[in-house]
Amino acid sequence: MTPSTRRSFTSCTTGMGSHTLSFDASLLLHGQQYIEIYRPIPSYASVVNRVKVAGLHDKGKATILELETTTSLKESGEILCMNRSTIYLRGAGGFSDSSRPYSYATYPANQVSRISIPNSAPSAVCDDQTKQSQALLYRLSGDYNPLHSDPDIAQLAGFTRPILHGLCTLGFAARAVIKSFCNGEPTAVKSIFGRFLLHVYPGETLSTEMWLDGQKVHYQTKAKERNRAVLSGYVLLQHIPSSLMDDKIKDNKVVQ
């Protein structure tokens, strides 16, 4: 796929008619990700993914598309998790009346909390250095966007070299929270929210600052070499060991 590739699709589940959108794939931005986890994810299983349009918003010069993927076990139908991706389609807006721009969503507006980064010192800081091959490894998950592997495509998109997938950066941040507040136990996580702020280059160090607030951990991840925030959000936990909570509140720790 080249940057000039045009993609089109029609959403038919908004309840307000169909909308055909054309967009330039090179202008697509992954803006946010929200994840709810309902039960432990098995290491081996056959699953079914069902995708629907959860939101569509005409912003004039751009369109915000929200895609919701529900993952369930194939045999029992038991739901494992839900992922909602917020995609910014630059140049694809203006398909509705500007005085009453089209906006549609299937979920309550207060389902995702606002991001609020405290002014106080973080409860914990975790540094992880990504590998130079990080994007090439992560693309094996199924995201083969050449922006993350082809230097020519990356330069056409305005980057000096291929960039890391946003979800890979989110994975580093979530792991930092699990390592710092959950004794390394991923089943302690109830939901994850992340807003992508800036690109990350493979090989950079990701420094995740975390603030504990009850069962919610607010976080901000920076590209340490550039001292630029690249991701912010929160992780909602099922529970936290009381002894670990006391330690994190008292100390400003750097986890290596």
Q: For 33-49, what is each residue's pLDDT tens digit?
A: 999 999 999 999 999 99
Cα–Cα distances (Å) from 241 to 126, 209, 210, 215, 249, in that order, read 19, 20, 16, 10, 12
Comparing 74 with 256, the larger pLDDT belongs to 74
Whether the predicted pLDDT of 180 surpasses 50: yes
Known catalytic membership, residue 24: no
pLDDT of residue 13: 41
> Average pLDDT of 110-136?
93
- Read off the pLDDT of each residue in 227-231 and give the average, rounded to a whole number: 98
Specify whether 25 is located in the same domain as 104. Answer: yes
pLDDT at position 250 over 90: no
> Which band of pLDDT confidence, cut at 50, 70 and 90, is reported for residue 114?
confident
d(CA 21, CA 1) in angstroms, rounded, equals 18
163 is catalytic: yes
Structure tokens at 64: 């915000």
**Residue 19 appears among annotated catalytic residues:** no
Q: Which domain holds residue 186?
A: 115-256
* pLDDT per residue as tens digits for the range 204-223: 999 999 999 999 999 999 99
Whether residue 119 is found in the same domain as residue 100: no
Same domain, 150 and 226: yes
Q: Are residues 95 and 39 in the same domain?
A: yes
Q: Which of 219, 225, 220 is nearest to 202 (CA)?
A: 225
Give me the mean pLDDT over the 225-253 stretch.
Answer: 77
Residue 60 annotated as catalytic:
no
Binned at pLDDT 50, 70 and 90, residue 136 comes out as: very high
Q: What is the mean predicted confidence (pLDDT) over 157-164? A: 93
Q: Which of 93, 166, 194, 233 is catalytic?
A: 166
Q: Which domain-ending residue is among 97, 112, 127?
A: 112
- Residue 245 and residue 132 share a domain: yes
Contacts of 202 (CB under 8 A, 6+ apart): 130, 131, 132, 133, 134, 135, 136, 162, 163, 164
Q: How confident is the model at residue 140 (pLDDT cuts 50, 70, 90)?
A: very high
User: Per the structure block, which two tokens stand in for 175?
Assistant: 């792991």
Given 64, 97, 112, the domain boundary residue is: 112
Q: Which whole-number Å values give the CA distances from 63 to 6, 59, 89, 94, 174, in the listed order? A: 15, 5, 5, 8, 28
Beta bridge partners of 245: none
At 213, phi and psi to the nearest 5?
-135, 90
Q: What pLDDT is attached to residue 242? A: 62
Give me the chain's average pLDDT, please.
87
Catalytic residue among 148, 165, 199, 218: 148
The whole-angstrom separation of Cα 65 and Cα 184 is: 34
Residue of 64, 153, 163, 240 marked catalytic: 163
* 138 and 106 within one domain: no
Residues 128 and 239 placed together within one structural domain of the fold: yes
Domain end position, chosen among 83, 112, 141: 112
Rounded Cα distance between 196 and 198, Å, is: 6
Q: Active-site residue among 127, 143, 150, 247?
A: 143
Q: How many domains does the chain have?
A: 2
What is the residue whose two structure tokens read 């004039």?
Answer: 60
Q: pTM of this prediction?
A: 0.86
